[in-house]
Amino acid sequence: MNSTVTVNEVLYPVYLLMLGCFISPVLGEVASLYVSSSISIGASILMIYISIIAMTSGGLGVGEFQLLTGISSAFSEVFRVSSYGFEVSVDGLSAFFIFALGIVSLASSIYGISYIKRYVGLESLRFYSVLYPLFLMSMYLLIICSDVILFIISWELMSITAFFLIAFEKANKVAVKAALKYLLMSYFGSSLLIIALVIISSISGSTNFTALRTVVFEPTVHYLIMALIIVGFGIKAALVPMHSWLPDAHPEAPSNISALLSGFMIKTAVYGVIRFTFILLGLNHYALGLMLSSLGIASAIYGTLMAIIQIDSKKLMAYSSIAQIGYIFLGIGGGLILYPNYLGFIALAAGLFHTLNHAIFKGLLFLTAGGLIYRTGSRDLNSLGGLAKVMPITYTSGLIGSLAISGMPPLNGFVSKWLILIPLLISGHPMLVLYAALAIFASALTTAAFVKYLARAFFSSPKNVSVGNVKEVPLPMALAMILLASLCVVLGLFFYIPFNMASSAVANMITYSVSYTTITLQDLTPVLYVFTLLTLGIFISAFIAVYLTASHKLRLTPVWTFGTKDLLPKTLGLNAHSYYREFGSTYSFVYVLRSYVYELVVRPLCKWSTKLARSYYDFVDIYLPTTLAAIVIKPLWRWFIGLGRSYYDWVETYLPTVLAVITALLLILIIASYLGCVVWFLST
Amino acid sequence: MVPQYLVALLTAFLLALLVPLLDGVERKYVRARIQSRVGPPIIQTYYDLVKLFKKELLIPSTASKLFILAPPTSFFVSIAALFILPYSLSPSLGFEGDIILLAYLLVLSSLTSLLGGLASGNPFAEVSSNRELSLILASELFLGMGLAVIALKYGSLRLHTVSTNLILLPSVLLAYLTLLYYAFIKSVRTPYDIAEAEPEIASGYMIEYSGPLLAFLILGNLTRRLLVSSLFTVITFGPVISMATSPVNVEVLRYTLNAVLTISLSIIVYLSLGVVSVIHGRYRVIHALMSIKKYTLIPITALILAVIGF
């Protein structure tokens, strides 16, 4: 197939975003926001276009990123590795991730036009306008690069721009603190990653991805690299023992940034794991699969259990992001464990498909939460409520997003979760079967969490926020939400298109044998029938609803609460704290377990590390100076002081004395000569 | 191919229309008999529904459009679930993993009606949805484990495969028991109808519904009740039925016979669950969850047995 995009044109979005980054500082506050947003929108559309072309033509070849060639050649000079310049290429996997990035960044950029204007006069919009394109560019570059150095550069650029964007509300102490926590953890992760990548490229003698494919490692090095890569990427993906930055950082960022962080930034870790372990290094599939799927299911359960008890809408979504990343890694890990079996192929492709889906619906949900913040200024589920009638677009998008993330057919979330679950369940691998059973439970927990969000934000009567003068969000924000919400529906109904995209991306990198198969993609046609039936059912219901409202005598009544008009509705009903309280107390052991882990592991660790830090501080600040002082500085000081004292003595005592003596001598001399003159005069 | 889909769809609609009769039978011959009452005529539920359809539409002023859309949607989702269920035990309808799709459709159906209730803005609906979701949480863990055992032993989660192969192992039997209990929880009858609980929260999510919308809601609930009993029946008795009818050579005849047998067994299961329900009082919320938690030992045992080879 003849593609209309050459590989150097793949870099056009990068140049475009760089342009946005350079133009913004010289423009006015609001003008810079408009310019950088429109440039980002253009770049996002280009990304989607490039990814579609790349997917239909089976990937684009290798090109060179010339802007950084200087760095590349300098690096190869210094480290004596052969360099071909910083190469970029787009294969099936990259194209799939670019597609997800393009969609989320498109929605987030459109949304930002209105949303960021909230901060006029509070924060510097120019700062945002510079960082935002840079953030997009770093993620795009990360996906298209095929060179270890360029990968590290874009990874670090992404981390640091994300830090500044999380801490965008500088006045908000919580945000700055969360951003610092993110930065610390992120840098710990990237340092491990850099160690791993340096080991890899020093063994292979090249930093180029194509050269890495042929590398063979010794077993110890092999496992070392695997551990480093899992922890390094695991921190960015917020897999469970390494997740703690995410629930703090994601809620504090501006909402369209949260959408990008949860929608795409944490997926770059998924990309990294797949890229480095499957395609490049061929690390031990079984062990890696065990690790990834175990971390995945732990994240899925923990994230959802924590999500249902949150009272902050964005925090709820952040915990749910941990859970969904867990789902993705469960699929990928399962795919690795079942390696030669075709079932593994389906799990792996479904994991990728879920990556795309989660980017879309989690982006959407963060945007709806942002809409609520934009209009009411609150993200506290206790004080929100009753917004369904005044914000119909936000509400409908929130409803679709919530149903999609809960995995309700016929929306996109169902298909990917379902395709992850089936291969694991029927694989006959006892551990995977257990994990899949727990994943069904996690899915129910997700439903519960998002029903809580819907109920408290849109349906139930407001507790503190007055709904009276709340309006629908402005057009750009509404457009962004409509875009993502319709994608949730379209990708669900026509699921075979994105699933085929994902499976062709998988097929390029790892070969599964079809002979083991018990299910094929042709088997999925009956699902389409069921989906059609469901869609038809919803349409008929809509008709019935229209018919009923048109034909029947409609009577509006106040909500009935046993005639207790005055109590209504502030005192009746539940607040966000009381949701699932009975469930929590019945299954309290899971929460108790968490507090035990906290008490027995996290807190001692914290204490220990604080102690360590303090002793380090003490060492540097007290012991080291005293020791140095005792051995070196004190004698020196003494000598110096002695010197000073002698100088002082000289100046203070000797000098006046000498001067006095000299003066006295002079005086005596003068007097004597005077006397002599007098005597001589008298004598003659 | 296509006629079979049509037959399945037609069966689903017919069953949905016949459920009120089944409910009438339960009310007259199960509940009234056990409670020593005369009871209503067996077509009483039809009378109720017809009357409801004729009534005017009362809509709370705080309600959004979802309030009107939800009840019919909930009903049609249960129809779609009935459509998947292979009463005739024929292979052509199913696909790998249709049990999970069915479970999700069950949740979707009850979730839709809950969301409709929530959309009314009534605080009692909120309390009710909270209770129902807690039940869903507890019972999905239950179901997940049960399905895991079946998947381990059959190597498939296709309803046709599961319902035509007989595997007599302790773990599978325990999984059947799990499914029966799941059907009981999901049938929203007395011990587990904490989300409706008329004396406490005035029907919960249904509190604001009246007229035709209430009729759709009732139809949806009854269809779901039949659906869960049928799911249990097809999985548990399917193998026996298909063995019994295997001598019949004419395919159409065999499938019809299968369908008749599964449907009648489903009705028996439906009514027996009704009997169990009548002799129980309603649980308190915490007790309902505690009981499910306690019974989760069944699927856990089953899973352990399945893994070690029994």
For chain B, say whether A447 makes contact (Cβ under 8 Å).
yes
Tokens of B293: 């938690």
Peptide bond before residue B191 is cis, with ω within 30 degrees of 0: no
Residue A244 pLDDT class (50, 70, 90 cuts): confident
Q: Which residue stretches of chain B are H helix?
A: 2-25, 32-34, 44-54, 66-84, 98-119, 123-154, 159-164, 170-186, 198-201, 211-245, 251-278, 285-295, 297-307
Q: 3-class SS at B92?
A: helix
For chain B, say whether A518 makes contact (Cβ under 8 Å).
yes
Q: Which of A122, A124, A126 is nearest to A134 (CA)?
A: A126
Residue A125 pLDDT class (50, 70, 90 cuts): confident
For chain B, say whether A425 makes contact (Cβ under 8 Å).
yes
Segment A369-378 mean pLDDT: 86
pLDDT at B2 over 80: no
Q: Which strand (E) or helix (H) includes residue A357?
A: helix A342-376
Q: How far is B36 from chain A (nearest CA, A)?
A: 32
Q: Which residues contact A89 (CB under 8 A, 6 or more apart)?
A: A7, A59, A60, A61, A62, A63, A144, A146, A209
Among A406, A560, A580, whose Cβ lies nearest the Cβ of B122? Answer: A560
pLDDT at A518 over 50: no
Average per-residue pLDDT in chain A?
82
Among B68, B101, B131, whose Cβ lies nearest the Cβ of A418? Answer: B101
* pLDDT tens, residue by residue, A134-145: 899 899 989 888
Contact across the interface for B97 and A587, Cβ inside 8 Å: no
Instruction: Return d(Cα A111, Cα A33) in angstroms, integer.
Output: 12
Q: 3-class SS at A329?
A: helix
Tell me the whole-structure pTM to 2 decimals. 0.86
Q: What pLDDT does A368 receive?
A: 92
Q: What pLDDT does A71 receive?
A: 59
> What is the DSSP pairing of strand B57-60 with strand A554-557?
parallel
Disruptive mutation site among B122, B182, B205, B291 for chain A (greatest number of A CBs within 10 Å): B122
Contacts of B9 in chain A (CB under 8 A): 533
* pLDDT tens, residue by residue, A611-629: 887 777 777 777 777 777 7
Contact across the interface for A533 and B80, Cβ inside 8 Å: yes
Instruction: Return d(Cα B110, Cα B137) in angstroms, integer.
Output: 13
* pLDDT tens, residue by residue, B168-179: 888 888 899 999
Q: Which of B247, B241, B284, B287 is nearest to B265 (CA)?
A: B241
Q: Quick one: what percent of chain B has pLDDT higher than 90?
A: 4
For chain B, say whether A421 makes contact (Cβ under 8 Å).
yes
Instruction: Return d(Cα A575, Cα A383) in angstroms, integer.
Output: 8
Among B9, B95, B147, whose Cβ lies nearest the Cβ of A524? Answer: B95
Q: Can you name the residues that pair with A62 across neighbouring β-strands?
A: A89
Q: What pLDDT does B195 receive?
A: 77
Q: Cβ distance A558 to A293 under 8 Å?
A: no
Instruction: Return d(Cα B149, Cα B139) in angstroms, integer.
Output: 16
Q: Which residue stretches of A62-171 are H helix?
A: 69-79, 92-115, 125-144, 148-166
Q: How far is B23 from chain A (nearest CA, A)?
A: 24
Residue of B nearest to A537 (CA): B76
Disruptive mutation site among A308, A522, A552 for chain B (greatest number of B CBs within 10 Å): A552
Contacts of B172 in chain A (CB under 8 A): none
Q: Quick one: what percent of chain A has pLDDT higher than 90?
A: 14
Instruction: Return d(Cα A105, Cα A45) in angstroms, integer.
Output: 9
Among B5, B147, B202, whose Cβ lies nearest the Cβ of A437? Answer: B147
Instruction: Return d(Cα B262, Cα B227) in angstroms, integer.
Output: 12
* pLDDT tens, residue by residue, B34-71: 888 888 888 888 998 898 888 888 888 777 888 888 99
> What is the DSSP pairing of strand A60-64 with strand A87-90?
antiparallel
For chain A, say whether B29 makes contact (Cβ under 8 Å).
no
For chain B, say whether A567 makes contact (Cβ under 8 Å).
no
Contacts of A586 in chain B (CB under 8 A): 138, 286, 289-290, 293
Among B136, B144, B208, whose Cβ lies nearest the Cβ of A437? Answer: B144
Q: Which strand (E) or helix (H) includes residue A362?
A: helix A342-376
Segment A176-195 mean pLDDT: 87
Residues, chain A, total?
Answer: 684
Contacts of B300 in chain A (CB under 8 A): none
Q: What is the 3-state secondary structure (H, E, C) of B218-264?
A: HHHHHHHHHHHHHHHHHHHHHHHHHHHHCCCCCHHHHHHHHHHHHHH
Q: What pLDDT does A470 receive?
A: 78
Q: What pLDDT does A486 receive?
A: 92
For chain A, say whether B118 makes contact (Cβ under 8 Å).
yes
Contacts of A403 in chain B (CB under 8 A): 111
* pLDDT tens, residue by residue, B147-162: 889 888 888 888 888 8
Among B94, B118, B147, whose Cβ lies nearest the Cβ of A459? Answer: B118
Residue-by-residue DSSP string for A39-66: HHHHHHHHHHHHHHHHHHTT-EEEEE-G
What is the b/e burial string over B240-269, where b = at least 16 CB atoms within 10 angstroms of the residue's CB? ebbeebeeeeeeeebbbbbbebbbebbbeb
For chain A, say whether B19 makes contact (Cβ under 8 Å).
no
At A209, the amino acid letter reads F
For chain A, say whether B290 makes contact (Cβ under 8 Å).
yes
Residue of A nearest to B134 (CA): A583
Query: Would you give the DSSP letter of residue A214?
Result: T
First to last CA, chain A: 135
Contact across the interface for B57 and A583, Cβ inside 8 Å: no
Instruction: Return d(Cα A402, Cα A356) in angstroms, integer.
Output: 16
CB-based burial label for A523 (10 Å; 0-12, 13-18, 19+): middle
Q: What pLDDT does A359 receive?
A: 92
CB-based burial label for A97 (10 Å; 0-12, 13-18, 19+): buried
Residue of B nearest to A427 (CA): B155
Q: How far is A522 from chain B (nearest CA, A)?
A: 10
At B261, the amino acid letter reads L
Segment A36-49 mean pLDDT: 90
Q: Can you name the residues that pair with A60 across neighbouring β-strands?
A: A90
Query: Would you give the DSSP letter of residue B283?
Result: P
Q: What pLDDT does A1 receive?
A: 37
* pLDDT tens, residue by residue, A399-454: 999 999 998 888 888 988 988 998 888 888 888 888 998 999 899 999 999 998 98
Residue of B nearest to A544 (CA): B72
Instruction: Return d(Cα A65, Cα A14) in angstroms, integer.
Output: 10
Q: Cβ distance A502 to A352 under 8 Å?
A: yes
Q: What pLDDT does A516 receive?
A: 46
Quote the ipTM score. 0.90
pLDDT at A328 over 90: yes
Q: How far is B225 from chain A (nearest CA, A)?
A: 19
Instruction: Return d(Cα A193, Cα B240) in angstroms, integer.
Output: 58
Q: Where are the domains of chain A?
A: 284-519
Contact across the interface for A533 and B59, Cβ inside 8 Å: no
Q: Cβ distance A390 to A461 under 8 Å?
A: no
Disruptive mutation site among B67, B90, B95, B219 for chain A (greatest number of A CBs within 10 Å): B95
Contact across the interface for A541 and B137, Cβ inside 8 Å: no
